[in-house]
Structure 1
Amino acid sequence: MALFNQKDARKQLDNEAGKVHRADLETLLDRQRSIEEKVKGSGKLARFRTDIKLMFSLIRDYWYGNYRSVPWKTIAAVAGALLYVMNPLDVIPDLIFGIGFVDDAGVVALCLKLVESDLHRYAAWKEHQEDMKTAPQSN
C-alpha cells in the first residue's frame, strides 16, 4: 500500500486550492526563496526544481498582471501545491527523515499533471517575451 496515492494527493490539492486567496499569492512570492531552498535540499522534490521555478514565475506574472491568459483554477492549483510544500507539518511531516518530502513531491507532480497544458502555454509566452526583449529593434 502506497503511503500517499494519487487520490489522496488530488483530494489534498483540491482542499489546498480551494483555500487559496489572492493574498496567498503575495505570501508565496515573499517566501519563494525559502521554498526553493527547501526543494533544493530535498531529494524527492529536487527533480521538480525547474518546474517549481516556472510555477513561481507564472504566479508572479499573474500577480503583476503581465499574464492573465490562464484560468484562476490553474493559479489556485499551483498556489495550493506550493502552499502545501511550504507547510512543514503536512500529511507526512517534512521532519521525518527519508520520507518527509514524499507527499510534497506527489502533490507537485499531480499539480503539474493537472495544469500541464496551461503551464506549457505560459512557458511559450514567457519565451516569446524574452525573445522580444533580445530581438534587435527595427526602425
Structure 2
Amino acid sequence: MFGKKKKEIDEEYVKGEITRIDDDDVQLAVRNQEEIAEKIINSNMLKKYSELGKIMFGMLKDYRKGIYTKVPWFTIATIAFAFLYILNPLDIVPDFIPGLGYIDDFAVLTFGLRFIESDIHSYLDWKIEQADAENA
C-alpha cells in the first residue's frame, strides 16, 4: 500500500491512496486497533483525535459485521487508510523523528476527516437510534 516514493501530503495524495484500499486493508486496520489507538493516544499531535478514533473504529467494526451498511465504501477506505498510515512507522515523515514524526499522520487524518465528516455524523445518529430502540 505504501510505496517507497516520497510524495507531498495533500488532498490529492490522500484521495489517490484511498482508492487503493481493499477489504484486506480494512481487516488489517481492525486487527491492529490497539496498536493504532496507542499511537494516537501517545502522540501529542494526534491525541485530540482519540475519541474520534474510537468512533471511527466502531464504524469499521459495525460495517465489517454487516450491522451498519449505510456508508459508502470511500468512507470505510478513508478510515482504513488513515489508520494504516498512522500504524506505519516509516511513512513520509518517519514517526521516530522527534517533533516532526507525526506531522504527516496528522495531515492524513485531517484530510481524511474532511472527506467523511458527514458520514461520521450519520453513523453517530444511527448509534443513537439503536440505543433508543434498545431502551424502548
Name 2:21's counterpart in structure 1: 20
Q: Distance in 2 between matches of 1:46 and 1:78?
A: 17
Name 2:3's counterpart in structure 1: none
Determine if the alignment matches structure 1 residue 93 to structure 2 residue 121.
Answer: no
Q: Distance in 1 between matches of 2:37 and 2:65?
A: 21
Contact 1:40 1:46 in 2 (8 A): yes
In structure 1, stretches of 5+ residues that fail to align are 1-6
Contact 1:28 1:79 in 2 (8 A): yes
| Aligned pairs for 1:59-138 within 5 A | 59-133=60-134, 135-136=135-136
- Secondary structure of the residue aligned to 1:118 is helix
Structure 1 counterpart of 2:44, one-letter code:
G
Q: Distance in 1 between matches of 2:20 and 2:87?
A: 14
CA RMSD across the alignment: 1.4
| Aligned pairs for 1:28-67 within 5 A | 28-67=29-68
Q: Taking structure 2 as the reference length, what is the TM-score of the superposition?
A: 0.88
Deviation at 1:112, TM superposition (A): 0.9
Q: Taking structure 1 as the reference length, what is the TM-score of the superposition?
A: 0.87
Deviation at 1:11, TM superposition (A): 2.9
**Residue-pair matches, total:** 129
Q: Distance in 2 between matches of 1:110 and 1:92?
A: 16
Contact 1:28 1:83 in 2 (8 A): yes
Q: Distance in 2 between matches of 1:81 and 1:55?
A: 10
Q: Distance in 1 between matches of 2:26 and 2:132?
A: 27
Q: Distance in 1 between matches of 2:44 and 2:10?
A: 19
Q: Distance in 1 between matches of 2:28 and 2:83?
A: 11
Contact 1:16 1:81 in 2 (8 A): no
